[in-house]
Chain A
Amino acid sequence: MASSPLAHGAHHHPALAHQFDTMEQQKESSTLGMWLFLVTEIMFFGGLFLTYVVYRSRFPAAFLLASNSLNVLLGGINTAVLIGSSLTMALAIWAAQVNWRKGIVIFLLATIGLGSTFLVIKGFEYHDKFVEHHVPGPNFNFVEENPNVHIRQIAARDPNLGRHASIFFSLYFIMTGLHATHMVIGIAVLIVMVVLSWKGKYDARYYNPLEMTGLYWHFVDIVWIFLFPLLYLLGAHAAR
């Protein structure tokens, strides 16, 4: 609840917006707002995850084979890259808390760098899928031209294998594509944060926008933590 601003003396922090009475109220409001926004993001991705669950339970064999055609090494590297970027993001906030202006900028730039690395690697993966004709659409070809004999054998008895694998790849592209879009938006926000941090806007007294950016970035990271095993690691533990 608001307390009288007169109690804190007449000096308002320059970042205090007019509708708020105290910086505390402003910080609590923006934090609540960001958490609510993340709830909407959970529901947004949730619909996709539900769709994934439904089709995976219907077509386990096709999903398994399609998943195994993804590059686990690249996916794993990307996972490490993203987790690293969450670390650098947290370090940027720490730098603000200890009044290290240059540190904020360095760590934000590192976050941007790692995030961009993720996107570049993703780009290579998409390129591979395009070349292998695993992109759903008129050029999709999972069975007939597949160098893996095993797949062609299975397809001989299950003519729907190609079609069901197409569903896997549709979900792969939509889910990772949506995730990548969120990363691009996150990087754009980070660039703005870099500029503002360089100008000295954030310090130990006020760094809430950095925290909010961090929340968003960590969320995008967590979505990937779920995507990676569901898409890349199907059946990876089982000996075949």
Chain B
Amino acid sequence: MNPQLPLFPESASALSGEVDLLFSIWCVISVFFSALIAGLILYFMTRYRRRHPEDVGANERAAIWLEVGWSVIPLAIMLAMFAWGTRVFFRIYRPPKDAVQFSAIGKQWMWKVQHPGGQREINTLHVPVNQPIRVTLASEDVIHSFYIPAFRVKQDAVPGRETSIWFQATKPGTYHLFCAEYCGTEHSRMIGWVIVMEPQDYENWLAGGATGKSMVASGAELFQSLACVTCHRAGNAGDTGRVARGPALEGLYNRQVKLADGRTIIADDNYIRESILTPTAKIVAGWEPVMPTFQGQVSEEQLTELIAYIRSLGPAGSAPAGGGQP
């Protein structure tokens, strides 16, 4: 809890202050209007209380200007707050480009967290301070929700799709992590801690803790072992005698892709995920639909690692052969 103001949680992220301000202004407005109504009611109750059992009130004519006034003024206030709230919302949903990539997979009843360097944790998330961090969320079973009150962020983890959340912690400390979407028996114990550390402490923690391959390295290994590389290559007819059968993936992430059916879409996480699981759903223009599916051959974690790897591929030096567009 925030020691200065026990009505608010700790304010520990780059956006939490603005969320609090937004809320506080709304509180002020609400107190004003509630007090206004309550005050008027109390005043009228006293001033106009019935003195004789047969007294009646005085009917007055309708006042259009009053009706319009008390419709338009609240509406204007609400629209202003809407605009501000939406701005904050878009910032909550748009991570900076340099955000470091973590992942969290929810399953009944725990969070499996993975660091970019491959370190894994359960129900805990160690992060460095002042670093934008993006956590991709997935679920192995039912809907969960990843909620860090101190950062004022929350996002549902929905089975069958990938969602994400981002934050930049501004104050070292230990903060609650909750599951915020009812998910069964141990929903209230699917909780943990976000531990924000100074960069040096974080490095020490990383070094001392369980190391594993980074997500990107794991993804690169999978890319080979699952034979993705046999089709998705920037090769020319020259080096192997074969033309690439699939679009090269360098620089693919977040690029526009033209599909065979004429649509143009952005190659985001969900597109990559879908292309691995259901390749025929979106065929890239100029390429044959020959990619086999990997549904049932990759786990959620392996999917996340593959996506991390593809994300990490920078723009290639050479253009792909075969005339297609990546």
Q: Point out residues on A near B: beta carbons under 8 Å.
A: 61, 157-160
Q: Classify the secondary structure of B's interface with A.
A: loop
CB of A159 within 8 A of CB of B295, answer yes
Q: Could you say which of B278, B291, B292 contacts A160, with CB atoms under 8 Å apart? A: B278
Give 18 pairs: A residue, B residue, CB < 8 Å, sorted on A: A61-B280, A157-B279, A157-B280, A157-B289, A157-B290, A157-B291, A157-B292, A157-B293, A158-B278, A158-B280, A158-B293, A159-B293, A159-B295, A159-B296, A160-B277, A160-B278, A160-B293, A160-B295
What chain A residues lie within 8 Å of B278 (beta carbons)?
A: 158, 160
Known: A157-B291, A159-B293. 16 other contacts (CB 8 A): A61-B280, A157-B279, A157-B280, A157-B289, A157-B290, A157-B292, A157-B293, A158-B278, A158-B280, A158-B293, A159-B295, A159-B296, A160-B277, A160-B278, A160-B293, A160-B295
Identity of the chain B residue whose Cβ is nearest the Cβ of A59 in the assembled complex: B281
Return the chain A residue nearest B296 by Cβ: A159
Given the complex, which residues of A lie within 8 Å of B279, measured CB to CB?
157
Residues of B contacting A160 in the complex (Cβ-Cβ under 8 angstroms) = 277-278, 293, 295
Q: Which of B171-204 contact A (CB under 8 A)?
A: none
Tell me how many residues of B have a C-beta within 8 Å of chain A.
11
- B residues bordering A, Cβ < 8 Å? 277-280, 289-293, 295-296
When distances are taken between beta carbons in the complex, the residues of chain B under 8 Å from A159 are 293, 295-296
A87 to B292, CA, bound (A): 53
CA distance A158 to B278 in the complex (A): 6
- For the complex formed, measure the closest distance between the CB of B281 and the CB atoms of chain A, giving whole angstroms: 8
Minimum Cβ distance to chain B for residue A192 (Å): 47
| A158 vs B292: C-alpha distance when bound (angstroms) | 8
- In the bound assembly, the distance between CA atoms of A160 and B278 in angstroms comes to 7
A160 to B276, CA, bound (A): 12
Q: How far is the CB of A199 from chain B (nearest CB, A)?
A: 57
Chain A minimum-CB-distance residue to B294: A159
> Chain B: which residue is nearest A163 at the CB level?
B295
Determine the chain A residues whose CB is within 8 A of the CB of B277 once the complex forms.
160
Q: Which chain A positions have C-beta within 8 A of B296?
A: 159
In the assembled complex, the Cα of A160 lies from the Cα of B277 at a distance in Å of 9
Q: What is the distance, in angstroms, from B206's C-beta to the closest C-beta of chain A?
A: 39
Question: How far, in whole Å, are A87 and B293 apart by their CA atoms in the complex?
Answer: 52
In whole angstroms, what is the CA distance A144 to B279 when docked?
20
Q: Report Cα–Cα, A157/B280, bound state, in Å.
A: 7
A157: which B residues are within 8 A, CB to CB? Answer: 279-280, 289-293
Give chain A nearest CB distance to B161 CB in angstroms: 12
A141 to B279 Cα, complex, angstroms: 22
Cα-based distance from A19 to B290 in the complex (angstroms): 72
* Pairs of residues from A and B, 8 with the lowest C-beta to C-beta distance, nearest first: A159-B293, A158-B280, A159-B295, A157-B280, A160-B278, A157-B289, A160-B295, A158-B278
Provide the bound-state CA to CA distance between A157 and B289, in Å: 8
Complex CA–CA separation, A158 to B290 (angstroms): 10
A160 and B291 alpha carbons, distance in the complex (Å) = 14
